[in-house]
């Protein structure tokens, strides 16, 4: 057990250093949610009569944007895996005694840590504009979103090893990202959607994450919405990590 933890730490540190050496990824990952807050959230004020305050808009909008940030950050893992395939890194890892689970988790934990760092900056900026900060609710929300990004990162990495081509992976991810994000309410609450869309949204795991994130950001932890989200996300995390580990074992045999 201690050996696997040590291997995960070594591989995680390597992945973090690779990311730091490419500041463009960090800049793009941070600027995207900030642009949403600055350019999109003001459009939501007039959805209500009388118009919503900036604080009310941000309290609804920011948790959805953080969920979107988790989804986007995790989805990039597959492209990095394909780059490692094409540059021979995966080939060199075939002779490594490191656990394939550790190889997977090094990338997953990198994505989680980078997401958390960006999220703290986004929340701070949103706070300056009027976002209400509830520490305990945000901490639980970070746990939930960390599980979400673990799912997306592991799934993307596994698909990258299967398809081995950027074009193929991009087609799959782009085809899934649009309906998943639109049917989760990351930009607008699903309560504004027609009834048929609300029904379909309930088969989307991201929907439960977004709904729970809004409840948690408001400071409410003991909520059935939050319990449902964890009840969906925790088993899905276990299943995805198990599947992706099997893919790593087969691809890096």
Report how far apart, in Å, the C-alpha atoms of 4 and of each of 112, 151, 155, 219 are.
18, 20, 21, 36
Q: Cβ distance 218 to 129 under 8 Å? A: no
- Largest pairwise CA distance in the chain: 65
For the packed helices 54-75 and 205-217, what is the interaxial angle rounded to 10 degrees? Answer: 140
- Please state, rounded to an integer, the average pLDDT across all residues of the chain: 84
Q: Is the model's pTM score more than 0.85?
A: yes
pLDDT of residue 36: 77
pLDDT tens string 237-252? 999 999 999 998 887 7
Return d(Cα 135, Cα 189) in angstroms, integer. 23
User: In which band, very low, low, confident or very high, does the pLDDT at 47 lie, cut at 50, 70 and 90?
Assistant: low
pLDDT of residue 3: 80
pLDDT of residue 149: 94
Q: Cβ distance 102 to 253 under 8 Å? A: no
Name the residue with tokens 């600027």: 31
Report how far apart, in Å, the C-alpha atoms of 175 and of each of 9, 67, 157, 182, 189 are.
33, 18, 17, 12, 22
Return d(Cα 110, Cα 98) in angstroms, integer. 17
For the packed helices 23-35 and 2-20, what is the interaxial angle rounded to 10 degrees? Answer: 80
Residue ranges per structural domain of the chain: 2-251
User: In which band, very low, low, confident or very high, does the pLDDT at 141 lie, cut at 50, 70 and 90?
Assistant: very high
Mean pLDDT of 12-37: 75
User: In which band, very low, low, confident or very high, does the pLDDT at 209 lie, cut at 50, 70 and 90?
Assistant: very high
Radius of gyration for the chain, computed over Cα atoms and rounded to the nearest angstrom: 19
Q: 65: which residues sit within 8 A by CB, 6+ positions away?
A: 33, 36, 37, 122, 186
Query: Encoding tokens for residue 99?
Result: 């656990």
Return d(Cα 42, Cα 237) in angstroms, integer. 35
Report how far apart, in Å, the C-alpha atoms of 104 and of each of 4, 8, 56, 253 are.
11, 8, 39, 14
If one counts every other C-beta atom within 10 angstroms of the C-beta of residue 115, the result is 25
């Amino acid at each position: 057990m201690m050996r696997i933890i040590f291997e995960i730490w070594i591989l995680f540190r390597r992945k973090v250093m690779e990311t730091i050496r490419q500041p463009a990824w960090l800049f793009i990952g941070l600027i995207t949610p900030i642009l949403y807050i600055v350019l999109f959230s003001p459009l939501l004020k007039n959805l209500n009569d009388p118009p919503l305050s900036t604080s009310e808009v941000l309290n609804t909008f920011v948790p959805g944007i953080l969920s979107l940030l988790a989804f986007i950050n995790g989805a990039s893992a597959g492209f990095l895996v394909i780059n490692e395939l094409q540059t021979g890194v995966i080939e060199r890892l075939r002779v490594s005694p490191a656990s394939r689970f550790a190889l997977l988790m090094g990338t997953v934990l990198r994505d989680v840590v980078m997401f958390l760092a960006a999220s703290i900056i986004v929340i701070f900026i949103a706070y300056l504009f009027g976002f209400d900060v509830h520490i305990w609710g945000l901490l639980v929300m970070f746990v939930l979103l960390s599980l979400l990004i673990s799912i997306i990162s592991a799934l993307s990495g596994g698909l990258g090893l299967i398809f081995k081509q950027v074009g193929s992976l991009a087609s799959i991810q782009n085809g899934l990202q649009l309906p998943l994000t639109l049917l989760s309410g990351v930009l607008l609450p699903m309560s504004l959607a027609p009834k048929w869309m609300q029904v379909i949204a309930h088969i989307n795991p991201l929907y439960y994450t977004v709904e729970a994130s809004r409840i948690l950001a408001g400071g409410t932890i003991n909520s059935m919405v939050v319990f449902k989200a964890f009840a969906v996300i925790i088993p899905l995390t276990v299943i995805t990590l198990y599947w992706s580990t099997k893919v790593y074992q087969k691809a890096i045999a």
